[in-house]
Amino acid sequence: MTIFSNAMKAASPFKTNGIRLASYLSKALTVKQFGNPLDSLSLESSTIKCTEPSQVVVHMLYSPINPADINTIQGVYAVKPQIPFVCGNEGIGRVVESCKSDSKLKKGDLVVPRKNALGTWRDYVVASEDDWLKVPSDLSPVTLATLMVNPGTAYRMLTDFVDLKPGSVVIQNGGNSAVGQSVIQLCKHWGVKTVSIVRNREGIEELKKILQEMGADHVLTDEELKSTEVFKSKEIPAPSLALNCVGGRNALELIKTMGENSTMVTYGGMSKQPLTVPTAALIFKDITLKGFWMTRWNWLHDKDGQREHLVNELCSLAKQGVLQSPPHTLVHIDSWITAIEGATDSRGLVGTKYILSFEA
């Protein structure tokens, strides 16, 4: 594998703190305007180099395309960067150069972004060493590239709101999403039962089988949830935690299944419909409604060591085989249009993750 896949060193390196540094020709997917990603993105090349002693040069290996990235390009996400900007919030890279001899990051280290919206859809990134977190080198780079956003979201929602114990029940919509798959995997590991709701579609039985083999206890379509006897029959207890990424009528059906003093955590709104809650659920069941945004959690815990702890915990779970890489397709950055088209196509079974590759 060649580290310098899409770049070349300039002929005239410069000096900083006694270290000879080089310039790099980098390709980057740049957002020139908010709107349709295919119209808004442009693959551009520029020369980059260290300008501060605290910086490192990182060669990106892989960077996934997440729904939040698409929403950011469309201009409808909570974080709205100033135009123009390089998209990408997640990925795995390798340090190829440190701009000072005593840098805590060394050449060859694998790193993931510590800073949100770092712009990982490019083959070379120059940023402060504090904008990166070092990760183990004995995990698959693809696993590391997709470990922080979706598995991180699942982990935090399962641990921060309800004291789940073996035998507890979690119900979720978007059960075949990347977060949903992580929820299934983590709950299986912890002995927590899951009820995963998915949209009816062609090949629904195959999808159910895939999720059940992953560890899902019950997989129901939206329609099946309305008529299921799994809760009334006491086959499993009422859910103490509901995870909602859809909203609208779908979320309402989840609320109907929830037990007393249970909690619903909303982390998305794919239906673009408001969350409607029956008064009776609030009065007689005393349910709690909360929201979760991984970006805010990262901001709040940037300096207290919890981000490092989360990264270490996720890597440990991946090493144990608890967290698996999602079904994915690698697409070289030169073929970015194919990747964007695939990432915005909702017809897939398990939500295949499209990952940009910067390898030669």
Q: What is residue 18's predicted lDDT score, i.e. its pLDDT?
A: 55
Q: Is 354 a catalytic residue?
A: no
Residues 126-173 have pLDDT tens digits of 999 999 999 999 999 999 999 999 999 999 999 999 999 999 999 999
Q: Mean pLDDT throughout 305-322? A: 96
Q: Mean pLDDT throughout 312-333? A: 95
pLDDT over 50 at 96, yes or no? yes
Helix (H, G, I), strand (E, B) or coil at 262: coil
By the 8 A CB rule, do 84 and 121 touch? no
| Predicted TM-score of the model (pTM) | 0.90
Q: What is residue 247's predicted lDDT score, i.e. its pLDDT?
A: 93
Residues 161-210 have pLDDT tens digits of 999 999 999 999 999 999 999 999 999 999 999 999 999 998 899 999 99
CB atoms < 10 A from the CB of 193, how many?
20
Task: Characterize the bridge pairing of strands 124-128 and 55-64.
Answer: antiparallel
Average model confidence (pLDDT) for the chain? 91
Task: Single out the residue of 264, 215, 214, 257 nearest to residue 236, CA to CA.
Answer: 257
Task: Characterize the bridge pairing of strands 241-244 and 263-266.
Answer: parallel
pLDDT over 90 at 16, yes or no? no
Active-site residue among 77, 124, 155, 267? 77
pLDDT over 60 at 295, yes or no? yes
With cut-offs at 50, 70 and 90, classify the pLDDT of residue 59.
very high
Q: Mean pLDDT throughout 19-46? A: 91
pLDDT over 90 at 327, yes or no? no
pLDDT over 50 at 73, yes or no? yes
Residue with tokens 């004995």: 138
With cut-offs at 50, 70 and 90, classify the pLDDT of residue 347.
low
Task: Characterize the bridge pairing of strands 218-221 and 193-198.
Answer: parallel
pLDDT over 50 at 349, yes or no? no
| Better-scored residue on pLDDT, 184 or 269 | 184
Residue type for position 62: Y
By the 8 A CB rule, do 74 and 35 touch? yes
Q: What percentage of the chain exceeds 70 in pLDDT? A: 92
With cut-offs at 50, 70 and 90, classify the pLDDT of residue 20.
low
Quote the CA–CA distance of 333 and 357 in Å, as a whole number.
6
Q: Ranked by mean pLDDT, which of 1-5, 6-10, 72-76 comes out on top?
A: 72-76
Q: List the end-to-end C-alpha distance of the chain, in Å, as a whole number.
A: 8
With cut-offs at 50, 70 and 90, classify the pLDDT of residue 10.
very low
Burial class from Cβ neighbours inside 10 Å (0-12, 13-18, 19+) for residue 228 reads: middle
Quote the CA–CA distance of 175 and 154 in Å, as a whole number.
12
Q: What is residue 2's predicted lDDT score, i.e. its pLDDT?
A: 35
* DSSP secondary structure code for residue 130 in this structure: G
